[in-house]
Structure 1
């Protein structure tokens, strides 16, 4: 049979196999190993960073000539050597000319190696790299097809004062998504970047203490006009200022994520002044989010489709009920992750379920004291759920699984990891009797042989 199949047909078969099987076929013969490698278009590598790393990567990449997506990381993040990173990046330039996406977090790279990358990999549309200070950013112009850029500024390097590199250069970058991590208040060169990013749709700032030097903030507003999604993670020192600029200059914003930072007054000011049509809110603000924020959202943003709250311990049932009533006509996703109000106020979930009958995604993960009675009282009203997550809800039992089977006939994806009260027999019954199920996340010990066989037959992905 092997001799009857041409190379192209074997490769096509490999492409259609699920991940575990596709790795096993490479062991059949040398021919299949070669065909498996040449059919791969995506590869993720975690390197050790020792003396053999360069030779090992060179040998490995030579066997994968058609990669379009490559991710390279160092297993030891303390190995921040620009020399090693540059050597590894030059190997990518040598062997991976067809790349469209590169995630390269093997240490800070130099401008010269980035210039080599732009010459070798002319089709790059997505790039994630680490840089050291000072931030020379004019190299971005050399990647005309780049749509997504993520830059991580490595710690341990001092801020160098100087000119705003490229300040007088006119450029219009094609970037639609920009992620910056570790930007300091005195980093120079950001002003040029903000002025050049006029097509941004998504902006992410992570662990940033500024948006550049003193002159950069005035340039920052120039990139905000068309932005639709903003994520601000651990940016407490600048969050109020960024939110104010968004409220004043960005009418296109539809999605806002804020984790670990900000002031209560700054959030209220944003909600009152922002005139955009927000669709998605995602907050992890343990000590900053209160009922008055939820009431402000309920008053102004009634067309929300997604609300995600994590570890928000100062909100109460009053605020959540008011919000649920306000957005009842369109909310499709609700997450209350590690929010003790779920356990603290009996009847809250039942009320939310009655108001939010169009929910398709529900995440109640890590509410460790959540009981079957409260959970089941919500499920009765949520008949259209396709995605349900209760990871880490230790007190849920088999009764909750029975309720899911009765009330939620449309479920496609379920996460019941670390739910100690749910047993293997309930998992088996759920897998066998859920007509739309495509993915279940649960401990391997709770998946019986019968459940495994049925999942394989029905192409259900069981993830441990």
Structure 2
């Protein structure tokens, strides 16, 4: 849409923040290059970008001199001349011209190599946040260059097998580190990294087999001498795959203002009263992967019995997100309507929760006035009559809810004008009528929100290309 780009550049000369969802659907390279003429642009985010041509990278690097944030994740860089994948890294190296850059997201960029990382490390001295997870073209040479970024506070190197202890212990001054599935990392490296980073607030080390309780003990000892008081500034805690001593959990709960908890529970935890302590908690993610055979058990707090549900409702008044994955609740599931009391709850995930959940409990969810995102995947009791009662949602994930039909989903779309995504994969009852109705329901949107309808029927997806007239609808798998 060159005309749209021309209009934006002409009338929005002072624009500082620009975010484009699915840019390849609404504009070509010519339009994107035109937008780089916005001389005051400080933030450019290109969401869900499949590919980007080298001329666009050059235009961004040469024209957007004031840029502080750039996000171009999940894309491959291609040549503008012949559309081939870019093998030479020289074009991406030009991003190092953005000397005011503070936040850079290159997550899963297919052809990112050492030379680009080295150029950025040498020239983008203001960089505070860098995401290069899954960028497998990088070697140890590129990683080591990052130690030159003295202002770096947040780094994501997840899914990079080249991330080792020797790299971690060279990092200084970080506040947040993500190194999930970095299989070469050990307790020793993480402990030394924590010692070297006195202001560290979050470290995510999920799915690393080498990690043991030794790491937790070492982290506890390393933080004892903190002058900012142990755990006081801790806001996010991710400890999946570990079994913490309950005395450590007790100390954390009493000292911290923890707002984000992601913990894989073990039988040793079931007697620990956690939720009545963490009154500032905003995010909970609990997975009972260690209790695979649990069917009915009288437990306290962490495993979601009636008492735990009531404790969450009564004490976690700031709760914004609740995720309960694969849980079998012992008795009294109707007490799930207690969850309607956290007035600020925005994000609820009850995917694959016990089949014992009743329709009464589901109806209680409609009382959550601030709810924006709901995941009810694989719940057999999810029907049209339930989803048409939902209002104000921005995202609904209902994968595998086989009782849903076109009729219910269409009415749900009409009832939720700010809806941005429906994930309805694995529902056999969906037909092309859903696409037709969604097209009609979104064509007059004035809020600028694109509805992404995700389904699994490839023939319907293909047919939608000739059906959709609305610029506010995208149908994908």
- Report the TM-score range of the alignment, normalised by the length of the smaller protein: 0.5 to 0.7
Aligned to 1:290, which of 233, 255, 267? Answer: 267
Residue in structure 2 matched with residue 335 of structure 1 by the alignment: 323
Residue in structure 2 matched with residue 309 of structure 1 by the alignment: 286
Q: What secondary structure does 1:388 align onto?
A: strand
- Tell me: CA distance 1:142–1:74, structure 2 relative to 1, closer, same or farther (3 Å): same
Query: Residues of 2 paired with 1:202 and 1:292: CA distance?
Result: 26
Q: Give the conservation status (yes or no) of the 8 Å contact 1:255–1:281.
A: yes
- Tell me: CA distance 1:58–1:450, structure 2 relative to 1, closer, same or farther (3 Å): closer
Residue in structure 2 matched with residue 9 of structure 1 by the alignment: 10
Query: Residues of 2 paired with 1:235 and 1:385: CA distance?
Result: 34
- Tell me: CA distance 1:13–1:135, structure 2 relative to 1, closer, same or farther (3 Å): closer
Q: Give the conservation status (yes or no) of the 8 Å contact 1:268–1:296.
A: no
Question: Structure 1, residues 316-362: CA drift from partner, whole Å, max 9, x if none?
Answer: 574323333333241332211232x15xx4532x2132255113321
Query: Residues of 2 paired with 1:188 and 1:154: CA distance?
Result: 14
Q: What secondary structure does 1:432 align onto?
A: helix
| Aligned-residue RMSD, C-alpha | 4.4
Question: Structure 1, residues 88-126: CA drift from partner, whole Å, max 9, x if none?
Answer: 44322236622731526547854x664433345455443
Q: Give the conservation status (yes or no) of the 8 Å contact 1:11–1:35.
A: no
- Tell me: CA distance 1:20–1:119, structure 2 relative to 1, closer, same or farther (3 Å): closer
Q: CA deviation at 1:453?
A: 2.1
Residue in structure 1 matched with residue 463 of structure 2 by the alignment: none
Q: Is 2:83 the partner of 1:97?
A: no
Q: CA deviation at 1:368?
A: 8.1
Query: Residues of 1 paired with 2:238 and 2:58: CA distance?
Result: 41
Q: Which runs of 5+ in 2 are unaligned?
A: 77-84, 224-229, 455-477
- Tell me: CA distance 1:73–1:462, structure 2 relative to 1, closer, same or farther (3 Å): closer
Q: CA deviation at 1:425?
A: 0.8
Residue in structure 2 matched with residue 457 of structure 1 by the alignment: 444
Q: Is 2:102 the partner of 1:116?
A: no
Query: Residues of 1 paired with 2:118 and 2:36: CA distance?
Result: 28
Q: CA deviation at 1:23?
A: 4.2
Question: Structure 1, residues 166-216: CA drift from partner, whole Å, max 9, x if none?
Answer: xxxxxxxxxxxxxxxx43xxx4354342xx22xx332323234675695x5
Query: Residues of 1 paired with 2:159 and 2:346: CA distance?
Result: 38
Q: Is 2:342 the partner of 1:365?
A: no
Query: Residues of 2 paired with 1:243 and 1:399: CA distance?
Result: 47
Query: Residues of 2 paired with 1:414 and 1:208: CA distance?
Result: 32
- How many pairs are equivalent? 394
- Tell me: CA distance 1:306–1:60, structure 2 relative to 1, closer, same or farther (3 Å): closer
Residue in structure 2 matched with residue 149 of structure 1 by the alignment: 155
Q: What secondary structure does 2:92 align onto?
A: helix
Calculate the TM-score normalised by the size of structure 1.
0.67
Question: Structure 1, residues 394-452: CA drift from partner, whole Å, max 9, x if none?
Answer: 442213224xx1xx544343222332211111112222234765554446847353343
Residue in structure 1 matched with residue 175 of structure 2 by the alignment: 201
Q: Give the conservation status (yes or no) of the 8 Å contact 2:340–2:364.
A: no
Calculate the TM-score normalised by the size of structure 2.
0.66
Residue in structure 2 matched with residue 140 of structure 1 by the alignment: 146
Q: Which runs of 5+ in 1 are unaligned?
A: 48-55, 76-84, 158-181
Residue in structure 2 matched with residue 268 of structure 1 by the alignment: 246
Q: What secondary structure does 2:91 align onto?
A: helix
Query: Residues of 2 paired with 1:306 and 1:416: CA distance?
Result: 21
Q: What secondary structure does 2:359 align onto?
A: helix
Q: Give the conservation status (yes or no) of the 8 Å contact 1:347–1:374.
A: no
Q: Is 2:332 the partner of 1:347?
A: yes
Q: What secondary structure does 1:94 align onto?
A: helix
Residue in structure 2 matched with residue 415 of structure 1 by the alignment: 397
Q: Give the conservation status (yes or no) of the 8 Å contact 1:362–1:389.
A: yes
Q: Give the conservation status (yes or no) of the 8 Å contact 1:354–1:381.
A: no
Residue in structure 1 matched with residue 81 of structure 2 by the alignment: none
Residue in structure 2 matched with residue 175 of structure 1 by the alignment: none
Query: Residues of 1 paired with 2:72 and 2:239: CA distance?
Result: 27
Q: Give the conservation status (yes or no) of the 8 Å contact 2:96–2:116.
A: no
Residue in structure 2 matched with residue 179 of structure 1 by the alignment: none
Query: Residues of 2 paired with 1:8 and 1:430: CA distance?
Result: 36
Question: Structure 1, residues 240-269: CA drift from partner, whole Å, max 9, x if none?
Answer: 23333444414121221233x223xx3534
Question: Structure 1, residues 55-78: CA drift from partner, whole Å, max 9, x if none?
Answer: x96555345444652547687xxx
Structure with the larger helix share: 1
Query: Residues of 2 paired with 1:441 and 1:116: CA distance?
Result: 40
Residue in structure 2 matched with residue 165 of structure 1 by the alignment: none
Query: Residues of 2 paired with 1:213 and 1:86: CA distance?
Result: 38
Query: Residues of 2 paired with 1:205 and 1:437: CA distance?
Result: 33
Q: Is 2:238 the partner of 1:235?
A: no
Q: CA deviation at 1:233?
A: 0.5
Query: Residues of 1 paired with 2:169 and 2:406: CA distance?
Result: 57
